[in-house]
Structure 1
Amino acid sequence: MKTKNILGFLFVLTAHFLFGQNISTIEKQLSKAFQKIDYWSSEGRNNENSYDSLATANTKFEKLLVQYTSSHSQTISHPFKSLEKIGLIIATSEDGKFRIYSWDTWTGGSMHFFKNVFQYEVDKKIYSKTVESQGEGDPGNYYTQVNDIISENKKYYLAQSKAILSSGMSYHAIKVFSIDNGKLNDKAQLIKTQSGIKNQLSYEVDLTASTNRQYEGRDYEIEYDPKNKIISIPLIQADSKITVKKIRYQFKGKYFEKI
């Protein structure tokens, strides 16, 4: 009996060690690939083929991230602290079943181009995918926060994002996602507006506009109150002036509705 107990303990200990070693190896390999992006966008920028090398580094990191996040279940809950320290942005849902990895490709100038990898869990299996940009010249965005919401017994996710259009212009959005029939749906609709049920709320901030020259605040970001289930976005006038007023949408059991 003692021998069986010892063997059982050793099995658990070995499994725990291999698990830790595996995720540690994954993080190191991802970190090494991600550092190539940093190198070709900074120290290696003066190299004759730096732009091509930078593009290649981004592609390699993206493929490696998709590979690991679609085949190793522990990645969806792992903090990846070393990667966050060097620029990877990770936004995870409250239930831990949906995660978005974002990073600056450093292939732009004052307009920043971002890439994203979306990871989600269905029936204890994990999946990972990329979403193509909306078209040529679309810089993409990075995701900062994901909140859960249940409407009519179905789980939805509210993902906040931001695009950097220039040093003084940015684009902000809160978008609805859901997982339908085992697939990620980035067109889920949960926000009721005057023009219909929408997938997202979005707006552009232009700090270079003459109406905002004296503006020094930072209260133009999206805010979400998970307790009262209220989305708040700034009221921006037609002349781009950012006001202190807010437009609010509250979840009413089925949809978010303006209050």
Structure 2
Amino acid sequence: MKTFKLIIVFCCCFYSANLFAQTPQAIEADLLRIFKRVNYYGSHKKEWKAIDSLEKMNKIFGFKLKYYTAKYPETINYPFTELVKERLVIATSADGLFRTYSWDTRLGSAGYDFDNVLQFKTNGKVLSSLKMDSVGKKHNPVFWYSKIYTLNAGSKTYYLAAYNSVRSSTDATQGVQFFAIENGKLNGAVLLVKTPTGLHSKIYFDYNFLSVVNMKVIPTIYYDTKTQTIHSPLVNAKRQVTRDYIVYKFTGKYFERVKN
């Protein structure tokens, strides 16, 4: 019965969206109305039934965001300023062909718990996928994407998406995930890193979040477009982030570690 009611809510939402949300401004207004309820219930989730409402609003927001970003191509360039003010995290590639939308579901018990919509443009069409790994199920740590770098290598374009995860005060992750738009689809598992253990689609490090909370400038993983190198902070044996970096350079086919 609960699932049936939720389906009815979705249908009503999408029916109203078809009627009224024809411009990016109207789309943002509709999304903002739902997202504010996500944040409201997230701030009151200890209250009776608030957690149920929070889960429902997250699902509605996620499905609506996917729907709008797939149906209306102009959204891939729209800034969604008001949603950003409400802490929706948006990252866009320099060529405007790939964009990520990340939001804190407020469902995490000890750390942040994010869902994502990934939007991309190919063959004149704009498509979206929804990654709702966190709502109502056990899952691996989910990330939010903070920045997208672009790497052009010959006839191919790769997207280096920097991501973060904070699961508790002592358990966090930073990394770069490699994407490519291939054959009309978004490939999020591009094997672009070569190490002694094989080929990988990510460069990342786990660390104790408490080791950076008192730093004025927190060391972060980043990509240098001029030198085509990824710089990843070195973590010591105690899982503390240091000021030193491990460097991976693109050699024409793969990123490989540069000896310090």
Q: Which runs of 4+ in 1 moved over 2 A?
A: 44-47, 131-135, 212-220, 241-244
Residue in structure 2 matched with residue 249 of structure 1 by the alignment:
248
Q: Residue in 1 aligned with 2:53? A: 53
Match of residue 25 from structure 2: 24
**Deviation, structure 1 residue 157:** 0.5
What are the residue-to-residue correspondences of 1:87-98 with 2, within 5 Å?
Answer: 87-98=87-98
Question: Offset at 1:25?
Answer: 0.6
Moved more, 119-128 or 167-176: 167-176
Stretches of structure 1 that go unaligned for 5 or more consecutive residues are: 1-19
CA contact under 8 A between 1:174 and 1:200: conserved in structure 2? Answer: yes
Aligned equivalent of 1:258: 257
Within the candidate set 159, 174, 188, 2:161 is matched to 159
Residues 96-149 of structure 1, C-alpha deviation per residue, up to 9 Å, x if partnerless? Answer: 000000000001122211000000000110000023539824341100000111
Kindly tell me: are residues 47 and 239 of structure 1, through their superposed partners in 2, closer, same or farther at Cα, counting changes over 3 Å? closer
2:142 to 140, 143, 146: 140
Q: Is the 8 A contact 1:112 1:139 kept in 2?
A: no
Shift, 1:237, TM fit: 2.1
1:107 aligns to what?
107
Structure 2 gap ranges (5+)? 1-20
Of 84-93 and 164-173, the range deviating more from structure 2: 164-173
Structure 2 counterpart of 1:153, one-letter code: S
Look up the SS of the partner of 2:45 in the other structure.
helix
TM-score by length of 2: 0.84
Aligned to 1:237: 236
Instruction: Please state how far the C-alpha of 1:216 moved relative to its aligned partner.
Output: 3.5
Paired residues of 2:192 and 2:253 also in contact (CA < 8 A): yes
Q: 2:45 matched to 1:38?
A: no
Q: Label 1:41 to 1:131 Cα distance change in 2 as closer, same or farther (>3 A).
A: closer
- Give yes or no for contact 1:221–1:233 (8 Å, CA) kept in 2: yes
Q: Distance in 1 between matches of 2:145 and 2:87?
A: 13
1:165-185 superposed Cα distances (whole Å, 9 cap, x missing partner): 113431111010111211111
The 3-state SS of whatever aligns with 1:53 is helix
CA contact (8 A) 1:73 1:125 kept: yes
Contact 2:63 2:130 in 1 (8 A): no
In 2, distance between residues paired with 1:62 and 1:214? 31
Question: Contact 1:105/1:114 (CA < 8 Å) preserved in 2?
Answer: yes
* 188 and 51 in structure 1: CA distance in 2 versus 1, 3 angstrom threshold: same
Separation in 2, partners of 1:46, 1:168: 24
Q: 3-state DSSP class of the match of 1:45?
A: coil
Q: Does 2:207 align with 1:205?
A: yes
- Would the alpha carbon gap of residues 240 and 46 (structure 1) be closer, same or farther in structure 2, given more than 3 Å must change? closer
Q: CA deviation at 1:47?
A: 3.8
State the alpha-carbon separation in 1 of the partners of residues 77 and 62 from structure 2.
19
TM-align CA RMSD: 2.1
Instruction: Tell me the secondary structure at the aligned position of residue 108 of structure 2.
Output: coil
Deviation (angstroms), 1:197: 1.9
- Give a deviation string over 1:189-221, Cα, whole Å, max 9, x none: 11121212210011111044xxx5997464431
> Do the aligned residues in 1 keep the contact of 2:212 with 2:241 (CA within 8 Å)?
no
